[in-house]
Amino acid sequence: MNPPTDEAQPVVADRTLHTVTIVGTGMMGTSVALALRRHGVRTYLLDCDAQAAETAAKMGAGVVGSPSSTADLVVLAVPPRSIAPVLVQQQALRSGRVYTDVGSVKAGPLAAAEALGCDLTSYVGGHPIAGSERSGPRAASGTLFQDKAWVLTSHPGNDTAAVAAVTELIRLCGARPVAMTQSAHDRALARTSHVPHLISSILAGTLDGADQQLLALCGAGITDTTRIAAGDSALWTDILQSNALEVAAALAEVAAGLTTAAHALATGSADLTELLRRGNAGRGALLTARTRLRSRK
């Protein structure tokens, strides 16, 4: 499949983003590119894995290589620990007017970028709350971000035009911009994404080497709770280590609950019922919040 031509794409009135470079053509980067192509944005694909970039291009995500002139925006779709080093490289090349990322950790990359002397006026952090346990460009979708929250972690040093450009990116991808500080984002994601992934992996790990009789008895409960354990282990090591303090704090809360459960089972105390009741209440709150969000669309 050949990439769609720019002329064949619909044009959005008053759009300021015309050329966007995507650095990293995994699921997230390729999904951003596919979403932008739906609006006629000219997208350029860069990746140290040439095969991944070529695959994304064949899917219609854009053209492999850098644009001949400065891009309106450069999107860094790389692991958290690579964001600052890649930002240094791209800014040294003056490859874009504005830079953003889609990493799931925000405080560490910003601090690293500052330490490396990056121009922070043009760098606005971002994180779409969307994804999959699958990885690579073939897992991408141009509608991945539709109606999803996309956290925007601007900072006081940002140029207003840079924030506006990243906000436009979010809207072109069909997502809802949600402003947060870097620390608030990392605290929230530790509890809503990072620790759940770690727990899912630990639970799935108990099945490694299990006999076929046990595996044949695995139903929806364990299948559902271990789904995200299929995520890329190297990427998730980077994510967890990049948000280590917040993940450790959130994990300690879960560990305290498990300790309480173990003690309750050993002693027959009522603490076990209370733990389960809290689980019911938390699940109910989550479903209610998601229903409210859907009703606002």
- Write down the pLDDT at residue 168: 97
Q: H/E element holding 91?
A: helix 80-92
- Write down the pLDDT at residue 152: 98
- Give the Cα separation of 102 and 185 in Å (integer): 13
- Write down the pLDDT at residue 4: 42
Burial call 131-167: b when 16+ CB within 10 Å, e when fewer: bbeebbbebbebebbeebbbbbbbbeebbeebbebbb
From the list 190, 193, 218, the residue with the least C-alpha distance to 204 is 218
Amino acid identity of residue 257, one-letter, is: G
Mean pLDDT of all residues in 14-31: 95
- Write down the pLDDT at residue 3: 41
Please say whether the beta carbons of 62 and 34 come within 8 A.
no
Both tokens assigned to 201:
């992996």
Fold of 6-181: Rossmann fold (3.40.50)
Helix (H, G, I), strand (E, B) or coil at 94: coil
Residue 14: pLDDT band (50, 70, 90) is confident
Is the domain spanning 185-295 CATH 1.10.3660.10? The answer is yes
Q: For all residues of the chain together, what is the average pLDDT? A: 93
- Write down the pLDDT at residue 297: 63
Mean pLDDT of all residues in 244-262: 96
Specify the domain boundaries for CATH 3.40.50.720 within the chain: 6-181
Residue 54: pLDDT band (50, 70, 90) is very high
When comparing pLDDT for 292 and 149, which is higher?
149
Mean pLDDT of all residues in 187-207: 97
- Give the Cα separation of 124 and 120 in Å (integer): 8
Q: What is the pLDDT of residues 174-183, one digit of tens each?
A: 999 999 999 9
- Give the Cα separation of 244 and 194 in Å (integer): 10
From the list 175, 168, 167, 164, the residue with the least C-alpha distance to 142 is 175
Mean pLDDT of all residues in 77-101: 98
For 1-45, the three-class secondary structure string (H helix, E strand, C coil) is CCCCCHHHCCCCCCCCCCEEEEECCCHHHHHHHHHHHCCCCEEEE
- Write down the pLDDT at residue 290: 85
Residue 193: pLDDT band (50, 70, 90) is very high
User: Crossing angle for the helix pair 244-267 and 182-189, nearest 10 degrees?
Assistant: 30
- Write down the pLDDT at residue 11: 43
When comparing pLDDT for 219 and 1, which is higher?
219
The yes-or-no verdict on residue 296 having pLDDT over 80 is no
Mean pLDDT of all residues in 36-54: 97
Q: Cβ contacts of residue 157 below 8 Å, gap of 6+?
A: 120, 121
Amino acid identity of residue 175, one-letter, is: A
- Write down the pLDDT at residue 9: 41
Specify the domain boundaries for CATH 1.10.3660.10 within the chain: 185-295
Mean pLDDT of all residues in 109-134: 96
Both tokens assigned to 295:
């009703």
- Give the Cα separation of 13 and 3 in Å (integer): 23
Amino acid identity of residue 90, one-letter, is: Q
Place of tokens 């859907």: 294
Residue 29 neighbours by CB distance under 10 Å: 27
The yes-or-no verdict on residue 7 having pLDDT over 60 is no
Q: Is the whole model's pTM more than 0.75, yes or no?
A: yes
- Give the Cα separation of 186 and 260 in Å (integer): 27
List the 149-153 sheet strands across, edge first: 63-64, 42-46, 19-23, 73-76, 99-101, 123-128, 149-153, 176-179
